[in-house]
Homo-oligomer: A and B are copies of this chain.
Amino acid sequence: MKKVLVTGDAGRPQGEPRPSGKTILVTGGAGFIGSHLIDSLLKDGNSVVCVDDLSNGNTKNIDHCLNNENFIFVQADILKQNELDRIFQEHTFDSVFYLVTNPTVHEGVKNPGLDVNKTFLATFFVLECMRAHDVKELIFFSSPAVYGNQENMMSEDMGPLFPVSPLGSMKLSAEILISSFSQLYGIQSWIMRPPNVTGERGTHGVVFDFINKLTADSKKLVILGDGEQEKPYIYVKDLINGVLFIKKHACERFNLFNIAPHDDAITVSRIAEIVAQEMDLKNVAFEYTGGKGGWPGDVPKYRYDVSKLHQLGWQPSLNSEEAIRTATREQLRFLKNNS
């Protein structure tokens, strides 16, 4: 366990008051989504402890937070229970935001142990620490993969669910375990089910992949599947706003929300066109590997029903196409600044 920087209470001059907000643990906070979440939590006056093993996360994503006295970064693998427990011993958390995961569906299909460990078991270890140290709020980032293949719009009251991919299975299993802890041990929980998430600092996914491929070869783009895969996308800053809105306004003991543009999606071929446009590339030859899904375990088409979230009073500012275009621009700028 490596503490890159210890600030917070330890770094604050004697007599200076603690910040007015909460003390929050973000597991997987140096990743794409986690780092945007931390930006918002710090801006709202909270103290944040970010734990990340940097296997998928990157300190580049949180460099700009390191001088903030309300921010602590701990490099640790939460699958090592003693390291995780020490973090809970050293801080009194009000809430935990859980983002650790195996980031890609297809890696889990090759090796389901990735999802069993990083998606499921790590959640259990966090829950056990919360129970032992009396931490009462968990916000969990789930996945569209929990729905498996569905012909109808995916809604929270659908079931029984039997996902295809190990990622989906283990996210759903983690949700189920969290629900049990909520019912038995008084841990209030909010399960967030976003679709694909896109925006600056992305480390995988279709926009990232297409930019990389077109940077390497600006004449040709190989697209997995038939290009007709059609999914909703949420812009990462919309997602964070939505998550914090849900956390504030949904007050059941166990809360479960889809969080996405309503009944809206974009095809992979259209994403390819947008990325090529934003990179000022003309006459790119699109080549398709064929087949309906991009990889085994892929769910090629789906839409989200987010009427529950609309009723709570929130919707994202960008639809799927706007999210992809904004993400492409941000990603290109980010790569330029960090090249």
Contact of A176 among B113, B169, B296 (CB under 8 A): B169
Give chain A interface residues in 68-114, CB to chain B under 8 Å.
109, 112-113
Q: Report the Cα distance A124→B168, complex, angstroms.
A: 15
Q: Report the Cα distance A52→B29, complex, angstroms.
A: 42
A164 adjacent to B180 (CB under 8 Å): yes
Bitwise interface map of A from 141 to 159 toward B, beta carbon under 8 Å scored 1, else 0 = 0000000000000001111
Q: How many copies of this protein are present in the complex?
A: 2
8 smallest CB-CB distances across A and B, nearest first, come from: A159-B159, A159-B160, A173-B173, A162-B179, A169-B180, A169-B176, A164-B183, A169-B177
**Please, could you name 22 A-B residue pairs with CB atoms under 8 Å apart, sorted by A?**
A112-B124, A112-B128, A112-B180, A121-B121, A158-B159, A158-B160, A159-B160, A159-B161, A160-B160, A162-B183, A162-B254, A163-B176, A164-B180, A165-B180, A166-B180, A169-B177, A169-B179, A172-B173, A173-B176, A173-B177, A176-B176, A184-B297
In the assembled complex, A170 has its CB within 8 A of some CB on chain B? yes
CB nearest neighbor in B for A296: B184
Report whether over half of chain A's contact residues are helix, strand or loop; otherwise say mixed.
helix
- What's the least CB distance linking A189 to chain B, in Å? 11
Residues of chain B within 8 A of A120, CB atoms compared: 173
CB nearest neighbor in B for A164: B183
Residues of chain B within 8 A of A160, CB atoms compared: 156-161
Residues of chain B within 8 A of A165, CB atoms compared: 180, 184
Q: Report the Cα distance A181→B165, complex, angstroms.
A: 8
Bitwise interface map of A from 9 to 26 toward B, beta carbon under 8 Å scored 1, else 0 = 000000000000000000
CB nearest neighbor in B for A149: B183
In the assembled complex, A116 has its CB within 8 A of some CB on chain B? yes
Q: Report the Cα distance A39→B158, complex, angstroms.
A: 41
CB nearest neighbor in B for A168: B180
Residues of chain B within 8 A of A177, CB atoms compared: 112, 116, 166, 169-170, 173
Q: Report the Cα distance A184→B128, complex, angstroms.
A: 31
CB nearest neighbor in B for A162: B179
Q: Report the Cα distance A126→B161, complex, angstroms.
A: 22
CB nearest neighbor in B for A160: B159
Bitwise interface map of A from 270 to 314 toward B, beta carbon under 8 Å scored 1, else 0 = 000000000000000000000000001100000000000000000
CB nearest neighbor in B for A157: B160
Bitwise interface map of A from 180 to 215 toward B, beta carbon under 8 Å scored 1, else 0 = 110110000000000000000000000000000000
Residues of chain B within 8 A of A109, CB atoms compared: 184
Q: Report the Cα distance A172→B159, complex, angstroms.
A: 13
Bitwise interface map of A from 203 to 242 toward B, beta carbon under 8 Å scored 1, else 0 = 0000000000000000000000000000000000000000
Residues of chain B within 8 A of A181, CB atoms compared: 112
